[in-house]
Structure 1
């Protein structure tokens, strides 16, 4: 796994034709944030901010995952989405 592969996957996800489900978006977001910033270090958003809270929870759920593993998971998920789109 290289930084280039990760960056190519980041670009490829924007080219997908089928919209991602909310769960897929949160998963991709969490892997991206973990890969680029590491563990979530932001305070928990207020419950009234549903979107921010969901994103925080998704990212915080994978706390401790290495940046390299997060990159691998991100690339694997993009590959899966591309295959599903081609089928």
Structure 2
């Protein structure tokens, strides 16, 4: 079960006042999925699903990281981004 600190970081990231670039969003997505689900458990999306492939690849790049480590990294990354996006 995700920690209260993780849930707070997720809420904060969802409420950024300006939109981070795609690379930042993909890193947040990959860490979030790794923290909440664990290693990728779905096949890679099809050739024409570009957005789905980018998201899947971001998640796959976190493979092997424990859910606790991904959660801690997500919290730290959001804290690092706060000054630039609030």
Whether the TM-score (by the shorter chain) exceeds 0.5 is: yes
Aligned position for 1:41: 41
- Could you tell me how far 1:19 is from its partner in structure 2? 0.7
- Could you tell me how far 1:61 is from its partner in structure 2? 1.1
- Could you tell me how far 1:83 is from its partner in structure 2? 2.3
- RMSD, matched Cα: 1.3
Task: Report how many aligned residue pairs link the two structures.
Answer: 85
Unaligned runs of 5+ in 1: none
- Could you tell me how far 1:85 is from its partner in structure 2? 3.7
Aligned position for 1:50: 50
Within 5 Å, which residues of 2 pair with 1:1-87?
Answer: 3-85=3-85
Unaligned runs of 5+ in 2: none
CA deviation profile, 1:54-73 (whole Å, cap 9, x unmatched): 01111011110000110011
What TM-score, normalized to structure 2?
Answer: 0.92
What TM-score, normalized to structure 1?
Answer: 0.91
The answer to whether the Cα contact below 8 Å between 2:20 and 2:85 also exists between their aligned partners in 1 is: no
Query: What stretches of structure 1 move > 6 A for 4+ residues in a row?
Result: none
CA distance in 2: counterparts of 1:85 and 1:28, whole angstroms: 14
- Could you tell me how far 1:52 is from its partner in structure 2? 0.3
